[in-house]
Structure 1
């Protein structure tokens, strides 16, 4: 631990219900518990963190803890981690309305408000949003996965030349494409055993279940409904639920299928390790023209880069860095140096663009370097906040 920072055990006095963590929290074993920006929801949550002997890394330059009201009045900008946590909370609130009778209007309005906020934050700094999304792992899979897909769809569709109103139904579809199995997603994510017959039936039917649930809430826009129904269809007819082929699958569903696959691959499951982002990109490239749309696969890779924002890397001289975006070419990633060649963590990230990706020696797993997480909130510039209420 360098002299500028200090590891401190949580006492509970630092936290207040309704405010956000100003730093990430870890278990005594070094496992990440909660990332910076997480909303503190209850006293019970605080008590649970104290009982777990959670600790944080205090960095004086980050300042003292501020309430949300104080942040709004004196420091309008927030880290990208706060942005992502706010979007996750908003999505959770929307999903809570999906199965309540008489809440159709509130559900659809909530989703569309979330769509427009997603468009705003992606316009401000798409690399920060996509990179931070990859770094947050502790939220429920049923929220992380659709939000990640929606963010990637928004950035890719914008690159394709769709205007904001044209992109909106696709982003809404990405947010809700798995809503038909939302209630069991976390259990499936944590399950090591094979699917039961009832679970398999839900998984096989979830595109149709999601489609019908949206219709029951009054959604009748084909550009929202069709991508939801078709996101597991494949060009060669091997997909489901209807075994559609080629041009029978709408373009938006083909793009959603790519983002769905990528997001699923890079998140570890109980029964497998995560696929590294570069390997997930490689798998999408290899499947282009066979099961997924070749042109859209190339576009997706162009948007994400060979080295995706949010990827932890070791450079050729031993420094550790986080990929923060792209330079002028796919093989010229922008990075934030986090640790020097001597293994000493920097006081603050140092930004540079690599002349060639060959300067990257290897890709690392962030969970093996949790001591660096304290710097990640400053890997990208702070952003304009969004409201937390639906």
Structure 2
């Protein structure tokens, strides 16, 4: 039995205890979604919202079997898993943490291989999510893609992905402080930041991790080709290749995410900045591969179209400038009931993803 929802049942900042549908039974927002603003509530009420009353708990209409987890839900489970692993790494060794990190890395590899565009989209869309979990996973996906294009086999890529997942564990004790930081780092903070690669390696070793490529990538992911990085001021080929791969993935993922002192940098501008530093700060070949693999408009990017609509990139194209696009918000600002394909020639520019968090539940269905 479907019950129409009233405004009083929707509250800003509260998660939905049930999924909601339009009058035709189409899923609009899934159970557990967090309402972002009063303006969002107004738009949702205008659409006409309903929930299914079955035992006081929402269930999909006419279920044949339990609904499998969506790709975005899978990525969400990886974030929760990583959060637990980071807590373990900061504590006393209990055994088995290396195996659990490698299992997460393997699962991420499989997901990335099976759904490369959807995986990129899930991590591009959540740029305002918990930095300490979303950023390492995003860096791991980019590292996996770069290493694959460099000719590394799945087994060879595994320690690089594991290094990406754990590369900032040495900063775990001050992540909250850094995420709130609005001004320049103090001398003491900068000393802590520069020490975090070595501290991370020590933590990993304490938990029994001995893989040389994994540890080298964590230790040297802040080295730069011109020797201006840390902790050892290595340059060019002296920087281990896994570390060069992780370095560029780390830079890209960090720049597109908002911080307390700045808004996120659009992916297109981030890639341009990285390309300008090819051969100096970053590996030139890897910079070119990154642009080819991610695209100027990566999956999950929100775009302003000539029609006034807002579109989302659903697939990378044959080249970096021609992605597949679906419009999701009409020219008058209302979410479209059914996303529609649009041509790349309609692109006017990119829109910061965190400005439209209210429509992510609708976007998710485009990625399987």
The TM-score range, normalised by the shorter chain, is 0.7 to 0.9
Structure 1 residue 277: deviation in Å?
0.9
- Aligned-residue Cα RMSD (Å) equals 3.1
* Alignment partner, residue 362 of structure 2: 375
Structure 1 residue 58: deviation in Å?
7.9
Structure 1 residue 296: deviation in Å?
0.6
Moved more, 5-14 or 187-196: 5-14
Which runs of no fewer than 5 residues in structure 1 stay unpaired? 33-54, 382-390
Structure 1 residue 345: deviation in Å?
2.1
Q: How do 1:246-265 residues align onto structure 2 when only pairs under 5 Å count?
A: 246-265=236-255
Tell me the SS of whatever aligns to 1:347. Answer: strand
Tell me the SS of whatever aligns to 1:150. Answer: helix
* Alignment partner, residue 10 of structure 2: 9
Aligned counterparts of 1:200 and 1:31: Cα–Cα separation in 2: 40
Is the aligned partner of 1:98 residue 2:99?
no
* Alignment partner, residue 83 of structure 1: 74
**So what's the TM-score if we normalise by structure 1?**
0.80
- Which residue among 340, 346, 349 is the counterpart of 1:362? 349
* Alignment partner, residue 120 of structure 2: 130
Aligned counterparts of 2:205 and 2:270: Cα–Cα separation in 1: 33
Structure 1 residue 186: deviation in Å?
2.3
Structure 1 residue 79: deviation in Å?
2.4
Q: 1:270 to 1:71 in 2, by over 3 A?
A: farther
Structure 1 residue 26: deviation in Å?
2.2
Contact residue 128 and residue 257 of structure 2 kept, 8 A: no
Deviation readout 1:260-311 (Å, 9 max, x if unpaired): 1111111111111110111001111111111100001100111100111111
Q: 1:273 to 1:361 in 2, by over 3 A?
A: same
Structure of higher RCO (CA pairs closer than 8 Å, 6+ residues apart): 1
- Which residue among 237, 251, 262 is the counterpart of 2:227? 237
Is the aligned partner of 1:24 residue 2:33?
yes
Structure 1 moving runs of 4+ over 4 Å: 4-8, 10-13, 29-32, 55-64, 70-73
Which runs of no fewer than 5 residues in structure 2 stay unpaired? 20-28
* Alignment partner, residue 140 of structure 2: 150
Number of matched pairs: 346
Contact residue 15 and residue 33 of structure 2 kept, 8 A: no
Deviation readout 1:74-120 (Å, 9 max, x if unpaired): 222x32221121000010111121122232x3211110110111011
Tell me the SS of whatever aligns to 1:349. Answer: strand
Deviation readout 1:38-90 (Å, 9 max, x if unpaired): xxxxxxxxxxxxxxxxx9998669998459xx9995222x3222112100001
